[in-house]
Amino acid sequence: MAAIPLPTPCYAEKLLPVSFSSHATSAHKIRSSGSFRFKRLNKSQFVCRAASSVAVADLDADEFRHPLDRQNTLILRAIPGLNEIGKALLGTVTEQVMLLENIGTSVLASENQLPELHQLMVEAAGILNIEPPDLYVRQSPVPNAYTLAISGKKPFVVIHTSLVELLNRKELQAVLAHELGHLKCDHGVWLTFANILTLGAYTLPGLGSLIAQRLEEQLFRWLRAAELTCDRAALLVARDPKVEVVISVLMKLAGGSPSLADQLNVDAFLEQARSYEKAASSPFGWNAQTRQLSHPLPVLRAREIDEWSRSKEYKLLLQRLKWVNSVV
């Protein structure tokens, strides 16, 4: 098989990783520079729970999957040869480069290394009935979290130090739950294949660019739908009837900072979301602004999760919460 050249990798930043991003981005490399001091986590921020937790009994991914996610996943699966091309592009060497690039520059959380963050991940995974992935903390001034699922290897989540600084304990766990939602719904493998496909297809002679351009709009539409699903996973873990935790995360990522945290207002942000929806109702508004974005706009995500929090579907899932023994 002829080798298909891929861009010189810093895959952790280039591959549009499945992420709880600080903002919606198109498929461009995100560069970060400078240093960022990692503040020591103290017990006022993190308090480990007792040796038991809750879980949604027999939770299936389709029970909280957003309808747009389900619809656009079916469309992607119907594209002839997509899986085969993705597997060809995602070869052994590429997988290894991706793995080493992401874990070689980060700190692995465990029971004796960043134990509070590790506990947040374990608790969130227990609620969603999923095996906890590895969790890495990476130095970066860009608030972000992302997941990579590489075939044959344990999936892992990476969070940036600036995100830890920006969010409180409950908000951080909501972010981790969002990332777990990608794994619960098998988004990780799909997105890894799709990202490699898009990057690699542009290097193919002849029709390669045309193939990638045709896939791009549908791919981004699916990416945005997948993010809405994972916001629901975050809400299930937060178990917050007023949705303040998840919406607070979205609000902080849109325009927050540690010094402004006590001035932010969830209700005002939801009102902003409603005003945006009204302003973007013209044919040239919402679609023109979002069609090339990998993530839905924060105000639209806030509106979507607020609506789902009042749904019968969400309330029935909460009724299935039960106490279980902790996995640690």
252-306 pLDDT tens trace: 999 988 888 889 999 999 999 888 776 666 554 444 445 555 567 888 899 999 9
Q: What is the mean pLDDT of residues 27-38?
A: 32
pLDDT at 73: 86
> What is the arithmetic mean of pLDDT over 140-145?
91
What pLDDT shows up at residue 187? Answer: 84
- Global confidence as pTM: 0.77
What is the C-alpha separation between 200 and 6, in angstroms, rounded? 6
For 214, the token pair is: 């045709």
Q: What percent of the chain has pLDDT over 90?
A: 39
Q: Is the pLDDT confidence value at 116 over 90?
A: yes
Residue 9 has pLDDT above 70, yes or no: no
Query: Residue 238: what pLDDT?
Result: 93
* The pLDDT of residue 63 is above 80: yes
Question: How far is residue 219's CA from residue 280's CA, in Å, rounded to a whole number?
Answer: 23
CA 20 – CA 175 distance, rounded (Å): 7
Cα Rg of the chain (Å, integer): 19
* More confident position, 314 or 42: 314
Gap between the Cα atoms of 20 and 166, Å rounded: 13
Which residue pairs from 105-111 have beta carbons closer than 8 angstroms and sit at least 24 positions apart in sequence?
A: 105/12, 105/138, 105/139, 106/136, 106/137, 106/138, 106/139, 106/158, 107/136, 107/137, 107/138, 108/134, 108/135, 108/136, 109/134, 109/135, 109/136, 109/137, 111/328
Q: Which residues are catalytic?
A: 179
**CB-based burial label for 268 (10 Å; 0-12, 13-18, 19+):** exposed
Please classify residue 163 by burial: count the beta carbons closer than 10 Å to its beta carbon, then call 0-12 exposed, 13-18 middle and 19+ buried.
Answer: buried
User: Which of 17, 163, 11 lies closest to 93 in space, CA to CA?
Assistant: 11
Mean pLDDT of 24-47: 37
Task: Please give the pLDDT value at position 262.
Answer: 85
Query: Which of 223, 216, 246 lies closest to 307, judged by CA?
Result: 246
Q: Are 182 and 170 in contact (CB under 8 A)?
A: no
